[in-house]
Amino acid sequence: MKKIVECVPNFSEGRNTETIDAIADAIGNTAGCTLLDVDPGRSTNRTVYTFVGEPDAVVEGALAGARVAREKIDMRTHKGEHHRMGALDVCPFIPVANVTMDECVALSKAFGQRAADELGIPVYLYEASAAQDYRRKLPQIREGQYEAVKDRIVKPEWKPDFGPAQFIPEWGATVTGARFFLIAYNVNLLSTPNQAHRIALNLREAGRGPDKPGRLKEVKGMGWYVDDYNLAQVTVNLNNYRVTPPHILYEEVKKEAALLNVAVTGSEIVGVVPLEAILAAAEYYIEKENLFVLDEDQKVRLAVERLGLNAVAPFNPKEKIIEYIIAEEPDEPLAGLTTRQFIEEVASRSSAPGGGSVSAAIAAMGAGLGSMVAKLTLGVRKFEDVDAKMRKLIPPLHQAAHALIPMIDADTHAFNDYVAALGLPKETDADRACRDEQLQLGLKNAIDTPLSVMATADAAWDALVAVATYGNIASKSDVEVGARALEMGIWGAYKNVVINMAGITDDIYKKQTLEKADALKNRAADMCGQVLEILDSRS
């Protein structure tokens, strides 16, 4: 799965449009980077850029922006309301999807080293990247702002992590590091700003001071009044949405508001949000209200509705959820075909797509039929007594059917890798050794893919047996076809495992893989028999 990192560099320029646009262009034109937002502030004289991309790409994007800043920003003339210490003041790297915090720490260090070497600037590490606790937080490093850098940077305890321990007047110093994703989140109230602030004080981690901490961890916030909306807000930064997610903050605000006889009228997310946070909200309300919601788009809709995210401005998931903003069309040329086109492609004068892709498609349809019957049973009055069972049976069948769809193309891709290895040169001993190694890798890939088809389809069997037992008997033939299709798909995938195994030279891999494949094939035959026997007994 694609790795996604967010980078949010803050540059000390919020008034000069030419410079702001030049930095935006440098970041946005970096291969692999998607610029999500540019937020300049005249009074702060600061612009916050938000962009995402794969790990290496975001480092290049940050460096591209820093190069422009080195040329165009002069801190000797900079004034603004926001605290700052450098032209590129702070540059955090934030894990969004399939990336660890440790990986982002490594990215920040790579950026810091390269920026220091190339631009000749001092760079400090903060948050998860920091080596010393006394300079872990941004306010600690930035104390005294740009004006204090000259005297602090020469002290041993304030030697930069990268770059020269000397004052660069036109630049100042830069802070970089890795931190968790920060969600800027506001809850709307029909109240006074004072009431909103009272609620914020009760909830934010700092509370009213050291002796009166608030209830929610990793929350910074206050109350204010927004003239444009004609309402008050509890405005917060959720520093770690896995500790305090938006839906928990929202529910706690509702509790506090009820004590003050104040109405809550929805909320807003400022900027973008990870999909994980929205789905967590959906799961919370699904459990709280004993709902049954399966599809991701419906879960997103539920979260948007329950949190009132459309209250003050439209919440368009494709523009607000990071994963949707940068989503690419799946590489599924076969699965994306019509049924007619797929069959015609199989029937063409070509070895791919072949039995492996067809097996994945058949298995997907088998699991899909089981899912269909379970869904047709759910919510029907005459089957209310098995409603709870159907809620548990639908997800594994639904998930297996959807998981098998991309495997239609994966099998063909795996075979193509092997074919490509066949075309490698074999003139010298080194050529032949390299070719043999790639052929073995290609064969293992061509085996592991149908083996994954078998394992994914196998996950549907227990639920399919239960659907045969409790499902709508009017759909008996659909379950029978589903069972046969699921077994056939697994059997077909097994045959692809076996035929590709002939060229494998790794005896241990061969033995272990065949044992696993045999077990899955035999279980499929047994489970299919159980489904058919159960259905015969219900007729």
Q: Are residues 195 and 168 in the same domain?
A: no
Which residue, 146, 178, 210, sits at the end of a domain? 178
Contact 45, 82 (CB under 8 A): yes
Which residue, 325, 356, 374, sits at the end of a domain? 325
Residue 505 lies in a domain: yes
312 pLDDT exceeds 80? Answer: yes
Residue 375 lies in a domain: yes
Backbone conformation region of residue 266, classed left if phi is above 0, alpha if psi is from -120 to 50, else beta: left
Q: Are residues 162 and 188 in the same domain?
A: no
Check residue 279 and give its pLDDT: 98
Q: Are residues 310 and 268 in the same domain?
A: yes
Which residue, 178, 213, 244, sits at the end of a domain? 178
CATH number of domain containing 164: 3.30.990.10
173 pLDDT exceeds 90? Answer: yes
The span from the CA of 177 to the CA of 127, in Å, is: 6
> Is 82 noted as a catalytic residue in this protein?
yes
Q: Are residues 229 and 319 in the same domain?
A: yes
Average pLDDT over residues 322-350: 89
Mean pLDDT of the chain: 94
What are the tens digits of pLDDT across the range 377-428? 999 999 999 999 999 999 999 999 999 999 999 988 877 777 888 888 888 8
Q: Are residues 374 and 451 in the same domain?
A: yes
Q: Are residues 317 and 348 in the same domain?
A: no
Residue 124 banded pLDDT, cuts 50, 70, 90 = very high
Strand, helix or coil for residue 315: coil
What are the tens digits of pLDDT across the range 138-161? 989 999 999 999 999 999 999 999
Q: Which one-letter amino acid corresponds to residue 429?
A: D
Q: Are residues 366 and 460 in the same domain?
A: yes
**Sign of the alpha-carbon torsion through 111, 112, 114, 119:** positive
Taking Cα atoms as reference points, which of 148, 12, 9 lies closest to residue 80? 12
Q: Which of 25, 39, 82, 387 is catalytic?
A: 82
The span from the CA of 111 to the CA of 105, in Å, is: 10
Average pLDDT over residues 180-203: 95
What are the tens digits of pLDDT across the range 27-46? 999 999 999 889 888 888 99
Instruction: Give the pair of three-digit tokens for residue 536.
Output: 């015969």
Residue 331 lies in a domain: no
Residue 472 lies in a domain: yes
191 pLDDT exceeds 90? Answer: yes
80 pLDDT exceeds 90? Answer: no
Check residue 42 and give its pLDDT: 83
Tally of domains in the chain: 3
CATH number of domain containing 211: 3.30.70.670
Q: Are residues 363 and 238 in the same domain?
A: no
Contact 386, 476 (CB under 8 A): no
| Beta-carbon-side half-sphere exposure of residue 176 (alpha carbons within 13 Å) | 31
Residue 510 lies in a domain: yes
Task: Note down the domain range covering 255.
Answer: 183-325
What are the tens digits of pLDDT across the range 17-31? 999 999 999 999 999
Q: Are residues 312 and 415 in the same domain?
A: no
Q: Which of 89, 161, 409, 411 is catalytic?
A: 411
Residue 228 lies in a domain: yes
Residue 532 lies in a domain: yes
Q: Are residues 212 and 352 in the same domain?
A: no
> Is 411 noted as a catalytic residue in this protein?
yes
Q: Are residues 411 and 484 in the same domain?
A: yes
User: What pTM does this model have?
Assistant: 0.79
For the range 219-226, what are the long-range contacts, defined as Cβ-Cβ under 8 Å and sequence gap of 24 or more? 219/244, 219/249, 222/197, 223/193, 223/194, 223/195, 223/196, 223/197, 223/198, 223/199, 224/193, 224/196, 224/197, 225/192, 225/193, 225/196
Residue 333 lies in a domain: no
What are the tens digits of pLDDT across the range 239-275? 999 999 999 999 999 999 999 999 999 999 988 899 9
Q: What percent of the chain has pLDDT over 70?
A: 100
As to burial, measured by CB atoms within 10 angstroms (0-12 exposed, 13-18 middle, 19+ buried), residue 433 is: exposed
Q: Are residues 85 and 102 in the same domain?
A: yes
Backbone conformation region of residue 163, classed left if phi is above 0, alpha if psi is from -120 to 50, else beta: left
Cis peptide before 353 (omega within 30 of 0): yes
Longest dimension (CA), the chain: 89
Check residue 194 and give its pLDDT: 96
Residue 1 banded pLDDT, cuts 50, 70, 90 = low
Strand, helix or coil for residue 219: strand
Strand, helix or coil for residue 486: helix
CATH number of domain containing 459: 1.20.120.680
